[in-house]
Amino acid sequence: MPSNIPTKKEVEKKTSYHSKRCSIYNMVNKIPSQISHLRRIIDAGDAQCLINLRMTRNAFGRLCYLVSTIGGVADSRYVTVEEKVAMFLSILAHHKKNRVVGHNYRRSGQTISAYFHEVLHSVLKLYLLLLIKPTAVDVNCTNDTWKWFKGCLGALDGTHIPVHVSTRDKAKYRIRKGILAVNVLGVCDQNMNFIYALTGWEGSAADARVLRNALTREVDFFKVPVGCYYLCDNGYANVEGFLTPYRRVRYHRDAWGHREGGPENYKELFNWRHAQARNVIERAFGLLKKRWAILRSPSFYPLSVQNQIILACILLHNFIRSQMPDDSLEEVGEEYACVADESQTGFISTVQSSELWDDWREQLALSMWNTNN
């Protein structure tokens, strides 16, 4: 056998080396096009960044810093932190499929999925940093909406977020509208910043049941300082810490009909002012769903991941409002509240009816009526 003929082992070694070189060459050639898509978003200005990522370039840079230093996200061999966060935000903002995002960034579906979950977990680590500390309306508040509710921390309500569940669980998650959803408890302050959020409950669960669970949880329970309260609708009981309107009392302007002068008694006036203030939680939910399209239709992630996505969207909502005073979707209201002192008070842990609380609501409604007249 001639000596210049390579052996089988040498051929395999040479072929393996050639394939590896081709793979590296292809990867290096792909990098410019991968970076160019991100730069088209970031370098084009705040307008394009807002459309694609729902935040300005400055806010995007600060978020990348947080998920890197606190969340633990780092540059990989071929993907930077900025690109990982941009892919994650694109999926949340537009509910894009992995294939679509992979085509835009020239990445495989496996890469998109891996980095999506990595950034998701890092955002959840910002939970304590991004949730707003409860605040109470000060006695010197002059805001026409909130000045009547001294000691109020904000408003709470539940909302339904569409989800995909297994066939055996569909009955529990099906709501009256016929869709499958989870019941999310949201609590926000006077400026539509979320104070607390609890997700994971079946859509068929009553709002009052979800609130009761939030107050009695061993970990991450809902703290309501004694002496303060939240505004909520009649889906909840009028108990200490939770102020509801009078039942079966009209308070909408259309309900007053042709009568002149608005409400004719103190209960109608109270319900009207209560509705004006409590509307802040409805606006917060509306803004949340308007900003993140993934909350408007079911996603095909496992249910546990879908619940994590909902919480991540709430945290990013707070982050955007803190970093963008001129929010294009909603103007930020004036700050007129004082921080509630939690160190000198206990927390409410039950939702039992109380005549004292009903009497207090009666006195508050009468004082509004006397002040109005």
- The answer, yes or no, to whether residue 19 has pLDDT greater than 70, is no
In the block, which residue shows the tokens 């991004």?
130
Token duo for residue 309: 């996505």
CA angle 277, 226, 348 (to 5 degrees): 95
- State residue 8's pLDDT score: 54
Give, as one character, the DSSP assignment of residue 167. G
Give the separation between CA 19 and CA 25, rounded to whole angstroms. Answer: 10
Select the more confidently predicted residue: 309 or 3. 309
- The answer, yes or no, to whether residue 337 has pLDDT greater than 50, is no
All residues at 6 or more sequence positions from 339 whose CB lies less than 8 Å from its CB, including other chains: 133, 134, 135, 136
Domain residue spans in the chain? 8-125, 129-372
- State residue 332's pLDDT score: 37
- State residue 320's pLDDT score: 95
As beta bridge partners, residue 181 has 162
For the ranges 75-79, 188-192, 212-216, 345-349, the lowest mean pLDDT is seen at 345-349
- The answer, yes or no, to whether residue 345 has pLDDT greater than 60, is no
* pLDDT tens-digit readout, 47-67: 888 888 999 999 999 999 999
* pLDDT tens-digit readout, 244-271: 999 888 766 555 554 555 677 889 889 9
- State residue 342's pLDDT score: 40
- State residue 91's pLDDT score: 95
For the ranges 210-219, 271-280, 328-337, the lowest mean pLDDT is seen at 328-337
- State residue 21's pLDDT score: 45
- State residue 101's pLDDT score: 87
Give the separation between CA 170 and CA 272, rounded to whole angstroms. Answer: 38
**Mean of the pLDDT values across residues 128-153?**
90
Token duo for residue 289: 């769903």
- State residue 348's pLDDT score: 60
- State residue 336's pLDDT score: 34
Q: Return the SS3 of 367.
A: helix
Q: Return the SS3 of 148.
A: coil
In the block, which residue shows the tokens 């239709």?
297
- State residue 118's pLDDT score: 97
**What burial class does residue 313 get, using C-beta atoms within 10 Å of its C-beta: 0-12 exposed, 13-18 middle, 19+ buried?**
buried
By percentage, how much of the chain surpasses pLDDT 70?
A: 79
What does each C-alpha distance from 10 to 7, 14, 16, 21, 24 come to in angstroms?
A: 5, 6, 10, 16, 21
- The answer, yes or no, to whether residue 25 has pLDDT greater than 80, is no
Position 157 confidence tier, pLDDT thresholds 50, 70, 90: very high
- The answer, yes or no, to whether residue 114 has pLDDT greater than 90, is yes
Nearest alpha-carbon partner for 310 in 298, 322, 323: 298
Give the separation between CA 102 and CA 34, rounded to whole angstroms. Answer: 10
- State residue 164's pLDDT score: 93
- State residue 213's pLDDT score: 94
Q: Return the SS3 of 157.
A: strand
Q: Return the SS3 of 257.
A: coil
- State residue 228's pLDDT score: 92
